[in-house]
Structure 1
Amino acid sequence: MRRPAPKKLSDIQHPGPRCPDRLPYRLGRADKVSFRPPENVPLLRAISDWIETRDFHSAVLDLSGLSLESFRYVMPDRAVDSRHAAWYSDTRSSEGARLKEAVAIVGRKEGDWFAHIHAFWNDGGVGHLGHLLPDSLILKKGTEISGYGIKGAAFVAAPDPETEFTLFRVRGVESSEEEIVPNALISTLAPFEDLTVSILKLSENLNTRSIEVLGLGSLAGAAFEDAAPMKGLISEILLQPTCRVQADNKCAIPIRCVDLDGRLHQGKLQAGEAPTLVTCELLLIESKQN
């Protein structure tokens, strides 16, 4: 039996103590990468084999364009108990699809490599956005994967006392290299922190005129500059490839998202109008683009 959906932001109550650090981050170096995984192999194994040979501590990858065999996924949904603020749907399945847009946050979970993946795809002419279950993903057709490998900082799955979920948390990592010159940071936002405002605050820790932003997460509703608002307060999102903080401190954060009723939304966020639901996992990288 699922709890009723929240009707206003104050209806959302996380069970644990409020974490004092609302915008945790770790500096590191992000190197642009690309590789072509083999066909007909589990995607998580292909990513794990690749990252092991590169000595990266984490990665954020663009999986757009990948063609998958049948796979499983879940959607955002109401809580199944009296403690959590939200949960996920029963497992659903696709007979296979080409991902139109997809982001993977790659880190460690219980010592093994793990990938948190949100994706948008068409199935029978109908658009879907969901959280892909990484163990179910088999590559149907080899396509180049691009993104960033990260050194000096890592996403590591750990229990989060505030939400009582196991989530990626950010950690600093010592490198075997003599010195890492940071050009990026990773962050995991706390609940209710506005996504756009948080990105602007985090960008102050990078000494650069332009910043590229990649990531995914969940929001408790959102207002857009160029589209109707997402009124549902339980959602999953992915940031689109054109996310930027510009030299004039202007922030363009276009996202795709799906609410708990399966409605799709897309647009550029209004600052101050997109509070985090559980967390948002982000990579900010110094960009040469002005």
Structure 2
Amino acid sequence: MGCQGGFVTFDHGRFEPFRYVMPSLSSDASHAAWYSPTFAPEGSVRMHRGCAIVGQRDGLPFIHCHGIWDTSEGRRMGHMLASDTRVAEPVEVTGIGLKGVTFDSLEDPETNFRLFEPVRVGNEDPSVPEHSVLLARVRPNEDIGRAIEQICAAHGIEAADVHGIGSLNEVRFADGRRVGSLATEVMIHEGRVEQISGQLRTHLHIAVVDTEGNIHEGILARDDNPVLVTFELVIRASAPGGARREG
């Protein structure tokens, strides 16, 4: 197919070896957050759910993956180190693949990290009609729900499915729960944008891990979930009511 960028999910599969990190507080003034030491579980790891943004780094294929997995010590969540992890059995993935656009890992002076940014690739037109699928990155301190609504409004999208991973500052859920951790790793289980009373509204059901390794899941509160470092998104336009837009 020649896909160059997009998003994939996988809800099963065995991996060995498997390496990952969790969010951690930064020890310097140059970064808002950092990573834990690398975890190296003994034996194989069984994936519960993985979500990966697909792009490139230094001209080679690269993925940024958050997920939940089962180790010999119990269920864990974090940032999978893809270059140090191996698939131990065939794994079926589903997702959205694009040609002509991708995410590229670039230096970001605001955060002092190398982060995925949406870019065009080559001279060919994107493989989907304009505005049918959008690649986006939300920057620090922007509310994730509001940012998604603004992106959709700017491109004339009235309904969409939203996929992505990133980090949020002290996550707040719609039911009143709060994750009091500055550094987090987040993945969207299910994301939707739709018109309610003439206004765009974002519904995000997410999973998040804090710096202590605790996993939390739920629906995000509105107007109270600022991005910490980055949030990478693949937004696919759909017809009101949930049917995908053709293209």
Fold shared by both chains (TM-score > 0.5): yes
Partner of 2:40: 93
- Cα-to-partner distance string for 1:207-250 (whole Å, 9 max, x where unaligned): 4442011100011111101362111111111110x211124323
- Cα-to-partner distance string for 1:89-111 (whole Å, 9 max, x where unaligned): 11111232221111111111011
Partner of 1:155: 103
- Cα-to-partner distance string for 1:70-91 (whole Å, 9 max, x where unaligned): 3110110111323211110111
Q: How does 1:1-290 map to 2 (within 5 A)?
A: 54-94=1-41, 95-124=43-72, 126-176=74-124, 180-182=128-130, 183-226=132-175, 228-240=177-189, 242-248=190-196, 249-288=200-239, 289=242
Instruction: Please list every run of 5 or more consecutive structure 2 residues that lacks an aligned counterpart in the other structure.
Output: none
Check 1:220–1:178 CA distance in 2 against 1; reply closer, same or farther (3 A cut): closer
Question: What's the secondary structure of 1:246's corresponding residue?
Answer: strand
Distance 2:138 2:126 in 1: 30
- Cα-to-partner distance string for 1:261-283 (whole Å, 9 max, x where unaligned): 21211110011111111000000
Q: TM-score, normalised by structure 1?
A: 0.76
Residue 227 of structure 1 contacts residue 267 of structure 1 at CA under 8 Å; is this kept in 2? no
Letter in 1 for 2:216: H
Between stretches 244-253 and 189-198, larger displacement belongs to 244-253
Q: TM-score, normalised by structure 2?
A: 0.89
Structure 1 residue 198, shift from structure 2 partner: 0.9
Question: What's the secondary structure of 1:149's corresponding residue?
Answer: strand
**Percent of aligned positions with the same letter in both sequences?**
31
Distance 1:179 1:128 in 2: 36
Structure 1 residue 186, shift from structure 2 partner: 0.8
The runs of 4+ residues in structure 1 deviating greater than 4 Å are: 177-180
Check 1:72–1:151 CA distance in 2 against 1; reply closer, same or farther (3 A cut): same
Distance 1:179 1:90 in 2: 39
Number of aligned residue pairs: give it. Answer: 236
Check 1:120–1:55 CA distance in 2 against 1; reply closer, same or farther (3 A cut): same
